Amino acid sequence: MALTDTAHPTDVALLTDLYELTMAQGLWESGKLDEEDCFTAFYRDHPFGSAYAVMCGTSDLPELVENLRFTEEDIAYLASLEAPAGGALFKSGFLEYLRGFRAHLDIDAVPEGELVFPREPMVRVMGPALECQLIETALLNTINFQTLVATKTVRVVQAAKGRPVAEFGLRRAQGPDGGMAVARASYVAGCASTSNVLAGRRYGIPVFGTHAHSWVMSFESELEAFRAFARSMPNNCTLLIDTYDVREGVENAIIVAKEMEERGERLAAIRIDSGDLAKLSAYVRGRFDEEGLDYVKISVSNDLDEYTIQSLLDQGAPIDSFGVGTKLATCYDQPALGGVYKLAARRDKGSAVWTPVVKLSEQPYKRTIPGIQQVRRYVDEAGSPVCDMILDEAYLEGEGDTRGTTLVAVNDAALVTSVAGMDYRDVLVPVVRDGAAVAPREPLERARARCSAALSALDAEYKRFLYPQTYVVGMESGLARVRDELVRERMAETQTALPWKARK
């Protein structure tokens, strides 16, 4: 196990966009310190064409909140900033307020490894309005990338059909922090190992690596290089056979494998990193089998993704494992999840009543969902997810849990689904209360097991790479009516305030 399973987020207070701090000063100066807000973080569109995403980054959230403090160095830096029109950007009274700042937020989130779907809350943040603003950027930075990587990884692992996938992306990742996040998220989502040694130490992830082409090139001959590595690493011997010519490389590997047998050792595998991987792996498998070396495994790499892996296996390539780097670590075909963080409700401190709010847009799909949102996942008799309902917890607490029998699809009001009598569970769970973690940090293996179980329970129609079935996400019918009323009210106010629109 790792010495510690933590991403060590530091400098959280300044790990933010400047406008979070300018808004915070505005709230402080406007006397809104007693106002409480509820924000939700969610994504709108399917990543990689998938029907779902895999939640990741949840375990980092408590530490983000606990580290949301301003040091003397932070205060001094903020005091040094000048406004574009001249003068100090931040007022001395506000900076003095930040000097003693401590967050008191409550956070509920989807556990790591669980599946999430477009438009439903992945994280819900409640607390003083100023604090909700200050945590926004760091929170999105944490969950957006890790969730994107986990989702890409699941697709790669699915394509491998049970064969181990090693994450090789550190040297191509977006910096050191990106490399660490990739190793962590990819392990949650099913990778068997990583090449990242620091991630292995920190997170307890199995590490894997043998030698590079430069090892072979540093000796007079490939055979000499193979022999030297086998002597040095008899219990970790995978030979890279494509430095010069794969057909020559496999013959040298056969010689070394038989020499290892004479010493009571075994060649574990060979790796091919270039060329026609389907054709070459078939040739190599045939040669090893002819020589009675059927136990030697074949591993391949070379800019793999879910589509190339699927194609290789569809061609019958006798490959035992895959090393996936660039296209996983960079989420090659989709650079960002696009997760957003939107205000959903507010109230005066001390009040028991939350006021739901909605954001409008000339693009209807960008209209937000109001209320203190929870997600209920409904399942069939076999335990497979059928649909998710977004409901307003504050409303149900006031009315009693007698509603929630009908959901209206978020993007199609004509799609109405009855969930009466179906089993369900609430997906958002407490993570932070009053600024502190509610429980010790969850072991990474538990998140990994949760991801595996969630995928096993999901019907195959949602897991297709091409044209997967759309998973139904809807609002509880009462919440849908509240949203429609708020939209109509806001649109009417806009028309009154801007009469030119009506004349246009």
Nearest to 41 by CA among 375, 309, 360: 375
Separation between Cα atoms, residue 444 and residue 299, nearest integer Å: 26
Q: What average pLDDT does the segment 445-473 reach?
A: 97
Is pLDDT of 273 > 50? yes
Integer angstrom CA distances of residue 119 from 38, 142, 189, 427: 16, 18, 22, 14
Predicted confidence band of residue 361 (pLDDT cuts 50, 70, 90):
confident
Contact 90, 20 (CB under 8 A): no
Integer angstrom CA distances of residue 284 from 40, 248, 321, 372: 53, 10, 14, 59
Angle at 40 between CA 36 and CA 42, to 5 degrees: 170
Separation between Cα atoms, residue 208 and residue 323, nearest integer Å: 10
Q: What average pLDDT does the segment 281-287 reach?
A: 98
Give me the residue spans of the domains in the chain: 36-59+104-150+335-497, 167-329
Looking at residue 60, what DSSP letter applies? G
Lowest mean per-residue pLDDT among 117-121, 187-191, 492-496:
492-496
Q: What average pLDDT does the segment 375-387 reach?
A: 96
Contact 134, 24 (CB under 8 A): yes
Q: How far does CA 316 lie from the centroid of its chain?
A: 32
Distant-in-sequence, close-in-space partners of 453: CB < 8 Å, separation ≥ 6: none
Is pLDDT of 23 > 90? yes
Lowest mean per-residue pLDDT among 105-119, 185-199, 307-321, 344-358:
344-358
pLDDT above 90: percentage of residues in the chain: 87
Mean pLDDT of the chain: 93
Is pLDDT of 388 > 90? yes
* pLDDT given at position 318: 98
Q: How far does CA 334 lie from the centroid of its chain?
A: 13
* pLDDT given at position 360: 87
Q: What average pLDDT does the segment 272-295 reach?
A: 98
pLDDT digit string (tens) for 294-324? 999 999 999 999 999 999 999 999 999 999 9
* pLDDT given at position 6: 45
Predicted confidence band of residue 393 (pLDDT cuts 50, 70, 90):
confident
Predicted confidence band of residue 365 (pLDDT cuts 50, 70, 90):
confident
Predicted confidence band of residue 8 (pLDDT cuts 50, 70, 90):
very low
Q: Which CATH number fits domain 36-59+104-150+335-497: 1.10.357.10, 1.20.1640.10, 1.10.10.60, 3.20.140.10?
A: 3.20.140.10
Distant-in-sequence, close-in-space partners of 399: CB < 8 Å, separation ≥ 6: none
Place of tokens 């010689």: 255
Predicted confidence band of residue 504 (pLDDT cuts 50, 70, 90):
very low
Lowest mean per-residue pLDDT among 23-32, 258-267, 397-406:
397-406
* pLDDT given at position 4: 44
pTM of the model: 0.93
* pLDDT given at position 5: 47
Is pLDDT of 228 > 50? yes
Distant-in-sequence, close-in-space partners of 439: CB < 8 Å, separation ≥ 6: none
Q: 167-329 sits in which CATH class?
A: alpha beta
Predicted confidence band of residue 1 (pLDDT cuts 50, 70, 90):
very low
Predicted confidence band of residue 399 (pLDDT cuts 50, 70, 90):
very low
Q: What average pLDDT does the segment 327-348 reach?
A: 96
Is pLDDT of 162 > 60? yes
Predicted confidence band of residue 503 (pLDDT cuts 50, 70, 90):
very low
Is pLDDT of 496 > 70? no
Instruction: Give the chain's length.
Output: 504
Place of tokens 């049970």: 162
Instruction: Tell me if residue 108 falls in helix, strand or coil.
Output: strand
Predicted confidence band of residue 451 (pLDDT cuts 50, 70, 90):
very high
Predicted confidence band of residue 363 (pLDDT cuts 50, 70, 90):
confident
Nearest to 112 by CA among 176, 187, 193: 187
Is pLDDT of 31 > 70? yes
* pLDDT given at position 351: 87
pLDDT digit string (tens) for 61-116? 999 999 999 999 999 999 999 999 999 999 999 999 999 999 999 999 999 999 99
Is pLDDT of 501 > 60? no
